[in-house]
Structure 1
């Protein structure tokens, strides 16, 4: 097990990170200003790019949160599809939809949006290896229908295709973004109110206002982004005024920050212990049941999250309020009743992995180690930065893995997440789980239009996954977002798709600091 850092070492590292932050942002709590005085927003983000900001990876959500890349449609608060780069759509037949493109859209490189660029972007995503999660189990093709129309087709009926096309991983880029070897470079190639001007590896990015944006122009001159995995350093940047917006403040840092600057956002995000069902000790369902019985998630919620989270009753949390009602059905209870009885464990060795990018997860690992060892397991921990541990997790090199997982990140609907994580063909199947009954339940849910029947089918699939103990849901998170008193109209988005928008700006038109706590 890696040695724990001393408290002095942690403080020293955080101080160095904060010093670096101050050097890259406008220092001393002053807003970075340009010639017209509108000012630049300083943003400290949690995770650095994993794939060079490729929109075909999870980095797409950064591009979406910065409003530099856009999709054909967006989702409203209820998860319904609304116009974006497409002004309308209609279902042509069971497997085909026609999307009408918005006129007058210009890419950041000066070229115009036509059906050719949309087809190229969707085709690149469909042919990518690995595919974007939103396309797991989906065979998507696209063809132009004139200059302003696109026909999107799936191999089988897909009642949620418009919602699927809202995923940031299916954003539309200029032809110049697509390079040899399947590389997609989003610099100067999107359509949003902010232009991605440059990226400095995994340390920073610069966004400038795009004055020829098709919609309402951005209020700020631009955004200066710093990637700061250390939660203590991010929190300190907010306290000292070296950042205007801070993503994901650790629970343990909240007490040190002015309450007016802290905002809790309920998230469709579940902290889950994935169990390796294919090999190792947890290939035995009775051993998985023993682990489930040993875990007290309430202690973790109270001790690690200081009550700023919700104990999990299932994989889907309170951000989807219908999920709790569905669990009261007789069918849900009947599926859970098929769980295998727990066996006794006496020194069974297990290796648990997690990552440091979310500050609470190493503490969760400590709590789980204590609980599992009290039940008879012998636990070894492996804790690293996410970019250095993801490949091993997906390859099944751990007996168990603790992950903070968004459950409706892609389409606004949890079927994509359940398919990705728990189907035989899922691309994010950390549990190495494959069960024909679960696959059948997921296929049934995927084929039903949005509404009560679809929600019931989703709940049935969830109950089957839990009955097999492929994963143990621990808690549902609330993200803690920091906003200085200088900024207003920062998005607090449970889906983690929006953060900076064109309306995000300063409380004073000159960009000079206003009274603390004045954020909108």
Structure 2
């Protein structure tokens, strides 16, 4: 049952939150503002840095969300490439030539040149491990002059501009690479300069007045890493933070609805069915399982209505998908008649064991006999990939760092896909996936992707149940905070606190 939006946080939660947040933003100028009257933005983020904020790790997304490090290219809402530190680009076979934006300086005052771009891309391509956007990609970069960079891949790749939009391929000043690790402190090009990092507890950013895109509206950002979800929610409620990342579903109902925004994520909760062996080798029984699932009751019961019932593998975070999708023909449902099956899932995402319990009830009602196997992800992944389960529940990101879903579809459903939990080997699916992967970016590629999705859905190898949302908290005085499904943007040059 959903709690009223005006209900106060329990006193115990507030006490715990206060203990965790005491001194979080001490010394910040948020309360009184800077000399020009602007207020600093206080941010409570969920995950602390894992790799010292190295852009070659997942920490790169923090640098992007704080608008301190930038890439050659950025993505629009459709996932198409737009200029950023590069103003234009052209393709010639395996090579792409990018024109570097003039008049850009790094936070240390040095000028952005083609050599800086080459250095950053070369460091990323040679990193171990590589940024995941470069998995399986042979990429080299060389200067074609002061303001042009030629990027070449081992195979012709229509997605090179989208790949270069990944925060893990941010362009940093030479000083970032002088030590044993890559340090973004004072080395970015964005509207905010990262000036201080306190381990895994906090970070400080100040406005960079020489930003090529125009002066930011806020004088700076004070970040605190608060892994405890209750504490983050309490920080918003008490006024300790201006922007709060990832408010838990359980806490959202306790906050003023005007302070929270639900953002569709490119993440789908899917039931993968083993097509190679066991009960679901029979297409009619896969169809029976699909017909038995009531996703709406899962959304209401587990996610308290804060998720979207799936119409396909790709959800509302990719707004073009619904417009291109057409009805899919499925096999006729067979009779389960007491067939036994085992569903696997993991505890790392708190909702999944609950989802599994509801699915067990729904499938048993349809006539299946269902056992559950629930473990930590690290202890169950190898069995899932080996096809040891009849079905597996997974919360899966449907776009990788390129903003394109073709790689996810290939990984999960191609005969040689590296994450083929369904053990699917279907020539029609393989053909559609290969076509999607080789189509030029834009409308034609989006249509090919939806055709591939339809081919997968027709097999009933995967039953998409729901699309998750992330809940962001913005205090009443916050203006211009980004609500980004890809979680690349949070604070921009236009974000400020009244």
Give the alignment's TM-score, normalised by structure 1.
0.80
Match of 2:441 among 437, 450, 460: 450
Aligned pairs for 1:104-253 (under 5 A) are 104-178=103-177, 183-253=181-251
Q: What is the DSSP-based 3-state SS (H/G/I as helix, E as strand, rest coil) of the residue aligned with 2:234?
A: helix
Distance 1:114-1:27 versus aligned 2 partners, 3 A rule = closer
Look up the SS of the partner of 1:23 in the other structure.
Answer: coil
Deviation string for 1:416-459 (max 9, x for gaps)?
333454456766x3738574744543332122123443223212
The partner residue of 2:369 within 376, 379, 383 is 376
Q: CA deviation at 1:226?
A: 2.5
1:316 aligns with 2:314: yes
Q: Mark the CA change 1:289 to 1:173 in structure 2 (over 3 Å): closer, same or farther.
A: farther
Shift in Å at residue 46 of structure 1? 2.8
Which deviations, in whole Å up to 9, do the C-alpha atoms of 1:256-305 show, x marking residues without a partner?
A: 222221223333332334567799x7995778767645532111112223
> For 2:253, what is the secondary structure of its paired residue?
helix
Verify the 8 A CA contact 1:271 1:477 in the aligned structure 2: yes
User: Contact between 1:88 and 1:100, CA under 8 Å: does it hold in 2?
Assistant: yes
Q: Residues of 1 paired with 2:493 and 2:54: CA distance?
A: 23
* Distance in 2 between residues matched to 1:282 and 1:361, nearest whole Å: 22
Deviation at 1:169?
A: 2.1
Unaligned runs of 5+ in 1: 1-9, 384-388, 508-520
What is the aligned-residue RMSD (CA, Å)?
3.6
Structure 2 contact 163–401 (Cα < 8 Å) conserved: yes
- 1:353 corresponds to which residue? 346
Which of 257, 260, 266 is equivalent to 1:268? 266
Partners in 1 of 2:55 and 2:382 — Cα distance? 20
Q: CA deviation at 1:481?
A: 1.8
* CA contact 1:289–1:343 (8 Å) conserved in 2: no
Q: Gaps (5+ residues) in structure 2?
A: 1-9
- Aligned residues of 1:288 and 1:342 also touching (Cα < 8 A): no
- Structure 2 partner of 1:506: 497
Q: How far off its partner does 1:166 sit?
A: 1.5
* CA displacement at 1:393 relative to structure 2: 3.7
Q: Which residue of 2 aligns with 1:511?
A: none
The answer to whether residue 475 in structure 2 is matched with residue 477 in structure 1 is no
What is the distance in 2 between the residues matched to 1:135 and 1:470? 28
Q: Which residue of 2 aligns with 1:493?
A: 484
Going from structure 1 to structure 2, the CA distance change for 1:151 and 1:27 (only over 3 Å counts) comes to closer
Cα pair 2:324 2:447 within 8 Å, conserved? yes
Instruction: Assess, with a 3 A threshold, how the Cα gap between structure 1 residues 320 and 210 changes in structure 2: closer, same or farther.
Output: same
Separation in 2 of the partners of 1:346 and 1:101? 61
| Partner deviation per Cα, 1:170-211 (whole Å, 9 max, x = no partner) | 211223333777x43333322211222333444333322223
Deviation of residue 312 (structure 1)? 0.8
In structure 2, the partner of 1:517 is: none
- The structural deviation recorded for 1:43 is 1.1
| 260-269 vs 498-507, which moves further | 260-269
For 1:165 and 1:295, locate their aligned partners in 2 and report how far apart those are by CA, in whole Å: 40
Tell me the equivalent position of 2:6: none
Q: Verify the 8 A CA contact 1:96 1:151 in the aligned structure 2.
A: yes
Matched residue, 1:82: 82
Q: Sort the Cα spacing of 1:321 and 1:87 in 2 relative to 1 into closer, same or farther, 3 A.
A: closer
Structure 1 match to 2:421: 431
Q: Determine helix, strand or coil for the equivalent of 1:53.
A: coil
- Residues 1:296 and 2:294 aligned together: yes
> Is the aligned partner of 1:38 residue 2:38?
yes
Instruction: State the aligned residue count.
Output: 482
